[in-house]
Chain A
Amino acid sequence: MPEVRIIDVSKSYGKITALSDISLEVHDGEYVCIVGPSGCGKTTLIKSIAGIVQPDRGEILIDGKSVSHLPIEDRGTGYVFQEIALFPHMNVYDNVSYGLMVRGESPEERKGTVTEMLDMLSIKENSRFYPAELSGGAMQKTAIARALASGSTLLLLDEPLGALDVKVRTVIRHELKRLVKELGLTAIHVTHDQEEAISIADRIVIMKAGRIVEVGPSDELYLNPSRIFTAKFLGEANFFVGIVEKHVGKTLNVKMGDTTLSVRKREKIDLEPNDTCVLAIRPEFVKMVHRDEGNRLNALKGKIVEASFLGDLMNYIVEALNGLRVQVKVQISEEEPDIRVGDDVTIVLPEEHLLIYRHPSEGLEKELALE
């Protein structure tokens, strides 16, 4: 239900800056994912909302009211911990009913809500089991049920699926989103797994080194990222450095060595001739074409140096004649892949998928660094 507003929040631990002037708005009923590499501050941010951590500066408003002076237990935020933290001395039923018990409700009063919650997450048959006897997935669901049953309308989730195997995660994450939407809650979900964020978030917040890099809906951030780090962190991307040669109507000519590529101009990115720039293109948008089409726009000739089978895709590394290494993903379903390592190929970088950026002042490597 509630909307959350974070205004200029900062937090430092000694010399380490965990959060630096963070401002963010989460709308009523929205499912927001905060992603970023380890140490980017995402956990510190939701801990600040919950009151587990006190920011040094800034304000946090839930439904328009400032919560900065309220202790954890009075903020009304449900929290799911990364380490799950089920009470080891209570069974599933007691864990889930804890929030209601603490509010003073009698066992009879609690029964209705708790049973409903257990049903919704399909863990009713585990009611009498203790955490030590449960599987990872069951523990995860119990932790979620516990937060939901406390009646909170704002759900804060810290790597809630981190303890689970990849395959199990892909199943449970959709159940989680569905439940949150069904109950009309607002959720802020922290994860380091960008695939997870892309697949369930209404909006994604990208963080790095204590700052927000970019915010937006998943498809926008994936297809049209405004920042280089977003292009790198969400999905995979090829990056090239080039120099702007000239404007040609709605496109720019960019020179890389002895190759010239035609790139569409982008809003808010003003580049003049002789500016250094960075080009990015996702591997799945690079096209492998027939040798005869070598004269197409943005075509490069090269050789396959690596090829791996990924099931529904083939992943190739092409070394172009001008020295560039390009990663290419090609969907295959019926045919046997007939392109092998050592083959000569022609690839095309379609201008509508090439993203152009200013060259970052601290250097490209630093901008792309994950650790």
Chain B
Amino acid sequence: MNAVADVMQKASIIMDDLSSKPAVRRLFYAGAVLFLTAFILLPPILGISLKLDLVSQVLDNEALMARAKEAIFWSFSIALTIALLDLVAGLPMAWYIARSGSQLVSVIDALIDIPFIIPTVALGFSTLLFWTSPSSPISVLGVPKLSPGLALILLLHFAFSFPVIVRVMVGELLSYKSVYETAARTLGAKPFTVARTVTLPILRPALIAAFLLAFARSLSETGATIIVAGAFENGPVFIKNAKDAGLEGPMVLVSFTLILASITVFALIRILGTRLKIPINMVYPRPEAILSSARSARTRDIVMFVVFFLFVFIPSVYITFPALGALSDGTLGRAIAGEGVWSEYWQAMSLSYVIGFTATLINVAAGLPIAILIARKRLGKTLTTLLDAAVNVPIVVPSVALGVSLGYFWRSFSFLPEFWIIVFAHTAITYTYFVQAMAAAIEGIPEEMEETARTLGSKPLNVFRRIIMPLAKYSMFSGAILTFTRSVDETGATTAVSNQLKTAPVLLVSWVKHTVPATTSDIALGISFLILTSFVSLLALRLLVYRRR
């Protein structure tokens, strides 16, 4: 045992000394950038370019072209509407959580996360049941029944983008210095006026970021949308249908368009967003005083809670009812025994887990150096901004389109087994989560601390081990958990990429679509097991956060 410790000691001394040499450090970072380019950035771009010739198949077919165009149009329209609606609905909620100081805050805070953490497959099915099933309370109350289609897609997307907006804004509101608001009040401004003329303008970059995230999520979501879409087609649904029908041309066309369009829209919003000026020059003392009054605040709070529960929370968790039913009607027994449809289930689950772990490990190793480069701006201002933008590409582009492109790219290496193709696809898609989390954590550690440590005689690698790692370890775990959960949850790209292997979400979608004969109980239970994993992750995340405080 001592010999091992000795060797490790010697090895760490050698590595420490190496880290002192600038040339060695440059090599290390270059390697990470190479990985980023070769595994994350190039595959999506190259993959689809390889197959662009297939597009000609579609260009002549008028009916197909019309369908494709409509699908793309609807994807963007829905995303825009949802982002706006969620912003309007989410802001008051974020304000409430960050500022009200009420006892309920910790409860609401936990509930907000649920639509975010539940696998989208579960969300889709739960939403479907809540709004369309004959036994759901909506139908019982006599509200006209909805059927799968546009309305349902809107309701679904509203629900799962809501937590995104709230989380981003709560984070901003908490870290934002409230002294600006106090200063405005000492100058005589009523609370509503303060919010409009001081707080919101200052928070604008955060608002834009939240808007973009909600937009991206809506644009990208595949699994749940497929479940509730019915005959309606947006981009991702169209791609899946095209794939099922074996029509490669339309699949490539729409994927390519989505990739190009989403990158352009994002760039545009980022550039324009910083130039938009909110008019704050006139103030209306009387109406704003009324809006600031206590009664007005209470009405606002009530509306906000009703919206949250009715449109976000309950539809998301409605699945618990059939799931509970499944526990008593014998489905549980069949599940454990692996009978019928369940024969494939446990295999799919383990596959999801293994892929999740592998993708996470790769991302942690390859993403850490990039996170350091971004956080410490080692490459200078312009290159760092470029790097940051590049790292964001995978979440900007709809995952199904990404999947199509990645599938083509990796398949050109014919020796690669499908398992690894799926792993590489997941790695690319979840890369951003880990890098962002780590970059934020490292940015939170003053660079002065590292510099001082070095002047005390510590080599760079030792500084990393003894200063950065201990202080950033919670963020590292959080980033890893997010990455893992996202991978297990991944539906869109996996659908595009996999032919033989089935991950749990993909399998469940086929159950819902009745391509495999599964009962409602089967689906509810199957989804519940998947939810369980996510909940365990959420719990772990919360524990880490609380321990830190």
Contacts and interface: CB of A to CB of B under 8 A. Distances in A.
Interface string B177-194: 101101111111110010
Interface in A67-112: 71-74, 76-79, 81, 83, 85, 87-89, 98-99, 101-104, 107
Contacts of A103: 188, 285
B182 A102 contact: no
Given A73-B185, A99-B188, A89 B285 contact: no
A71 B281 CA distance: 24
A87 B177 CA distance: 11
B259 to A, nearest CB: 35
A81 B183 contact: yes
Nearest to B201: A89
B502 to A, nearest CB: 51
Contacts of B283: 101-102, 104
A98 B184 contact: yes
B186 A77 contact: yes
Interface string B513-543: 0000000000000000000000000000000
A102 to B, nearest CB: 4
Contact of B189 (A79, A83, A102, A146): A102
B185 A72 contact: yes
A72 B198 CA distance: 16
B202 interface: yes
Contacts of A99: 187-188
A244 interface: no
Nearest to A107: B281
A101 B198 contact: no
Of A72, A88, A103, the most chain B CB neighbours within 10 A belong to A72
Given A87-B202, A88-B202, A98-B187, A52 B182 contact: yes
Given A88-B202, A89-B202, A83 B187 contact: no
Interface residues of B, number: 23
A101 B281 contact: yes
Contacts, number: 71
Contacts of B198: 87
Contacts of A83: 177, 179
Interface in A168-223: none
B202 A150 contact: no
Contact of B285 (A52, A104, A107): A104
A89 B277 CA distance: 10
A190 to B, nearest CB: 15
Contact of B179 (A85, A101, A104, A107): A85
A32 interface: no
Nearest to B288: A102
A189 to B, nearest CB: 16
A131 to B, nearest CB: 11
B180 A85 contact: yes
A320 to B, nearest CB: 43
A50 interface: yes
Contacts of A146: 187
Contacts of A98: 184, 187, 189, 197
Q: Which 6 pairs across A and B sit closest by C-beta, in order of nearness? A: A99-B187, A79-B186, A72-B185, A102-B189, A85-B183, A104-B285
Interface of B: 177, 179-180, 182-190, 193, 197-198, 201-202, 204, 281-285
Given A83-B179, A98-B187, A102-B193, 20 more contacts: A52-B186, A71-B185, A73-B185, A73-B187, A81-B179, A81-B183, A83-B177, A87-B184, A89-B202, A98-B197, A99-B188, A101-B282, A101-B283, A102-B188, A102-B190, A102-B283, A102-B285, A103-B188, A103-B285, A146-B187
